[in-house]
Amino acid sequence: MQKIFLTFVFIIYSRRAVIRNKLSCKQCLFSLVNYISVLMLILQAMLEKNTKYITGIHHITALASDARENVTFYSGVLGLRMIKQTVNFDDPGVYHLYYGDEKGTPGSILTFFPYPGIRKGMHGTGQVTVTTFSLPLHSVGFWENRLKRFRVPFEKARERLESEVFIGLQDPEGLRLELMFNDRDDRLPYQGGPVPAEYAIRGFFGAEICADRPERTATLLTGKMDHRLIAENGYRTRFAALDKPGNYIDILAAPSSVAGKSGHGTIHHIAFSTPGQITQNKLREAIQDFNLHPTPVIDRQYFKSIYFRENGGVLFEIATEGPGFMIDEPIDALGQHLKLPPQYEYRRKEIEALLAPIDMDIKSYR
């Protein structure tokens, strides 16, 4: 597009300059370079103004204590695809388990660090306290029956905003979840799991942040992270980079609540998606201008990340959309084998000995 634009400018400008001003070729070329430079700056400013640096939720990472129980619940009961078995890059004796849709699309990825023996956490302010999945509106009855079948306690279905019905529940370690039934999600589900595709989870609907001073988080989201106000309902305020499932950040005002404590059953961090490293670097500069302190860019193999703690206390990450989860195994084999980053491959036997087996019989959950 830029080449076509520059060629067009060259032809028009050269013809006019030569005819009107009778400039020499050398003078014409010098003048043209200056003219194009100004136009390119204007074009760049226009493109930056229309660029979305944040495109929604990338992933959410939580803490657990039992890896096998975690796999049983999320792959078995909820029917998410295990898209990657790897390790915590900062602590390779601990799994890092990734779940999501068919190929691990940003907006569908829930991950866990299962630390054996970790203390139980406590929900409170300064945390992402609820992870909400998106499901078809017609599937409420199916999920009520499925949760009963697997003896998962859940709350009675309720309405929240227009055309939204949700069921609240917890995973076996106390992580708070919601199943949000709606008719606005056109994403394709994972079709190879134990849940029929017509009822299956489409990805995230959104996430809930508990805040004692919600304006601090809201100002960051709207001022530097491309979010806008979507809806307000009592103590709940909803923001999104794009107004569709997979992107919603609900801030719940809880000025009298106690601060949350990290441990199993709590969210470690939430990651927002950005198209690539150029937009990530722009965001990093914007966050620094907001007097926050982002980390340098860290290579997580499947994406590149920066981390920072926002003023409300929640750990935020900004992760690139690529390169994705198929860089070290094909799509039909995602999540079937332990994949180690190159720096730990020489320690494979040692690491495998530290990790408990997580195999499960998926057929019993159909």
User: 184-209 pLDDT, tens per residue?
Assistant: 999 999 999 999 999 999 999 999 99
Residue 354 lies in a domain: no
- The pLDDT value recorded for residue 13 is 46
Indicate the SS3 state at residue 141.
helix
318 token code pair = 């900004």
Residue 352 lies in a domain: no
Same domain, 206 and 221: yes
Is residue 46's pLDDT more than 60?
A: no
Residue 351 lies in a domain: no
Is residue 35's pLDDT more than 70?
A: no
* Distance set, CA 217 to CA 56, 306, 319 (Å): 16, 18, 19
Residue 183 lies in a domain: yes
Phi, psi for residue 14 in degrees, rounded to 5: -60, -45
Same domain, 321 and 200: yes
Domain with 84, as residue range(s), is: 56-330+335-345
* Residue showing tokens 């589900």: 189
One-letter amino acid of 325: F
Give 208's Cβ-side CA count (13 Å radius): 22
Same domain, 156 and 288: yes
110 token code pair = 């829930």
Instruction: Residue 18: name the closest of 5, 3, 31, 33 by CA.
Output: 31
The number of folded domains in the chain is 2
Same domain, 89 and 234: yes
Same domain, 35 and 67: no
User: 53-66 pLDDT, tens per residue?
Assistant: 999 999 999 999 99
Return the percentage of the chain with pLDDT > 90, whole number. Answer: 83
CATH code, 266: 3.10.180.10
**DSSP assignment string, 148-193:** HHTT--BPPPEE-STT-EEEEEE-TT--EEEEEEES---PPPPSSS
Residue 112 lies in a domain: yes
Same domain, 94 and 178: yes
User: 346-365 pLDDT, tens per residue?
Assistant: 999 999 999 999 988 888 99
User: 314-341 pLDDT, tens per residue?
Assistant: 999 999 999 999 999 999 999 999 999 9
Instruction: Residue 273: name the closest of 227, 318, 206 by CA.
Output: 318
Task: Give the span between the Cα atoms of 145 and 140, in whole angstroms.
Answer: 9
What does pTM read for this prediction? 0.87
Residue 365 lies in a domain: no
